């Protein structure tokens, strides 16, 4: 009978940039609700993703990767991590198991230790590891440092062992009713989801010079025409040279970003979309309180 108890709670996904937190979130929720890219610091704010199973409901809180904050933007990003840690029932510490341990990993582990919360260690990207036994030294060193509730190797990209991970997490949540309706998937507004899809395409389309200096804001979201949703997004950059890079020769790059984002947005809305993108130069937006508020990066 005890196994029939329904459990629910909030679970923070924390880890270094690029560990695969947002990839896992999208995989578990079954919809694309978080931007993913191979550039670090892709996620900038907290994103809730809700997973409901017969045995329980998990409200995942995806967070920005833990890094040293330079700009005000980065300080807000790290505040989002600390807030998430404080507000959840359980932590998931996610680690890219295919790379060696650095100071950043130690710092994240300290956050877990100091939180006083239970934590599950997820070793991600096992598809990149030749022999499973190669994981043993990593498991051993983490077990010595902290008594993790579970240690679960997964591949978020391929969806390997992620169902098992849900069961392992639910076990450690309090007996509780569902927090959200079964069909709810996220707390993100359509405007935010759209802006994030555009930003993701920018990250995927441009090189290393651009990722940190762009932000995207949905300025118009017009559903008055039932046959097509009209969306305008502003892309913020800090210098006109960056504007040039995003637009590309003859506008080719911006066109590619727009087309790819539109395809994703149409899939999400199940509706024809007219997407217009504008590039705006806003000097030093990463250090400007008002700009960050406009962009939706919470304090
Ligand atoms: N091979 C492999 N790649 C993965 C896996 N999970 C994620 N990735 C890749 O790792 C990169 C980073 O993924 P994200 O999900 O954006 O990582 P994140 O932890 O959310 O990163 P931040 O938001 O910057 O903190 C992307 O290129 C993903 O495709 C995995 O299981 N295997
Ligand atoms: Mg992320």
- For 96-138, the pLDDT digits (tens) are 999 999 999 999 999 999 999 999 999 999 999 998 888 999 9
CA–CA dist 163, 4 (Å, integer)? 18
CATH of 190-295, one of 3.30.300.20, 3.10.20.740, 3.40.640.10, 3.40.50.10860: 3.30.300.20
18 CB near ligand 1 (under 6 Å): yes
Atom of ligand 1 minimally distant from the CA of 65: 25
Task: Kindly give the distance from the C-alpha atom of residue 19 to the centroid of ligand 1, in angstroms, as a whole number.
Answer: 5
Same fold? 2-170, 190-295 = no
93 CB near ligand 1 (under 6 Å): no
- The residue nearest atom 11 of ligand 1, judged by CA position, is 38
Between strands 215-222 and 229-237, the pairing is antiparallel
* Ligand with smallest separation from the Cα of 65: 1
125 CB near ligand 1 (under 6 Å): yes
Task: Kindly give the distance from the C-alpha atom of residue 213 to the centroid of ligand 1, in angstroms, as a whole number.
Answer: 20
Q: With contact defined as beta carbons under 8 Å apart, do 161 and 102 qualify?
A: no
CA–CA dist 93, 28 (Å, integer)? 16
Burial letters for 42-55: b for 16+ Cβ neighbours within 10 Å, e otherwise?
bbbbbbbbbbbeeb
Between strands 7-15 and 90-96, the pairing is parallel
pLDDT attached to residue 1: 44
CA–CA dist 211, 229 (Å, integer)? 28
Q: What mean pLDDT value characterizes the chain?
A: 95
Spell out the CATH class of 2-170.
alpha beta
Q: Where are the domains of the chain?
A: 2-170, 190-295
pLDDT in tens, 270-291: 999 999 999 999 999 999 999 9
3-state secondary structure (DSSP) of residue 160: strand
Q: With contact defined as beta carbons under 8 Å apart, do 197 and 218 qualify?
A: no
* Ligand with smallest separation from the Cα of 34: 2
CA–CA dist 144, 282 (Å, integer)? 48
pLDDT attached to residue 111: 97
CA–CA dist 139, 149 (Å, integer)? 13
pLDDT attached to residue 206: 87
Beta-strand (E) ranges in the chain?
A: 7-15, 47-52, 56-62, 90-96, 119-124, 150-153, 215-222, 229-237, 273-281
Which structure tokens are listed for 167? 């069961």
Spatial strand order in the sheet of 90-96? 47-52, 56-62, 7-15, 90-96, 119-124, 150-153
For the chain, percent of residues with pLDDT exceeding 90: 92
Atom of ligand 1 minimally distant from the CA of 160: 31
* Ligand with smallest separation from the Cα of 156: 1
Residues of the chain where predicted confidence (pLDDT) is lower than 50:
1
């Amino acid at each position: 009978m005890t196994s029939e108890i329904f459990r629910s709670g909030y679970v923070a996904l924390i880890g270094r940039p690029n560990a695969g937190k947002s990839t896992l979130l999208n995989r578990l929720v079954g919809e694309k609700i978080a931007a993913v890219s191979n550039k670090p610091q892709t996620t900038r704010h907290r994103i809730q993703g809700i997973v409901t199973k017969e045995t329980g409901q998990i409200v995942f809180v995806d967070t920005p990767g833990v890094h040293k904050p330079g700009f005000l933007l980065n300080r807000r990003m790290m505040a989002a991590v600390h807030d998430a840690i404080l507000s959840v029932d359980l932590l998931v510490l996610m680690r890219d198991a295919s790379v060696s341990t650095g100071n950043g990993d130690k710092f994240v582990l300290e956050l877990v230790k100091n939180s006083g919360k239970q934590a599950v260690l997820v070793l991600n990207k096992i598809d990149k590891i030749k022999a499973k036994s190669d994981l043993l030294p990593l498991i051993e060193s983490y077990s010595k440092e902290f008594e993790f509730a579970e240690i679960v190797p997964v591949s978020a990209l391929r969806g390997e062992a992620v169902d098992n991970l849900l069961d392992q997490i639910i076990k450690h949540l309090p007996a509780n009713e569902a927090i959200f309706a079964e069909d709810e998937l996220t707390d993100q507004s359509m405007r935010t989801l759209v802006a994030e899809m555009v930003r993701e395409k920018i990250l995927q389309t441009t090189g290393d010079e651009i990722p940190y200096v762009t932000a995207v804001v949905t300025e118009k979201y017009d559903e008055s025409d039932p046959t097509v949703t009209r969306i305008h997004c502003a892309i913020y950059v800090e210098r006109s040279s960056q504007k040039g890079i995003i637009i590309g020769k003859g506008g080719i790059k911006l066109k590619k970003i727009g087309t790819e984002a539109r395809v994703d947005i149409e899939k999400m809305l199940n509706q024809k979309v007219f997407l217009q993108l504008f590039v705006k130069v806003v000097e030093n937006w990463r250090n400007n309180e008002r700009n960050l508020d406009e962009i939706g990066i919470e304090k």
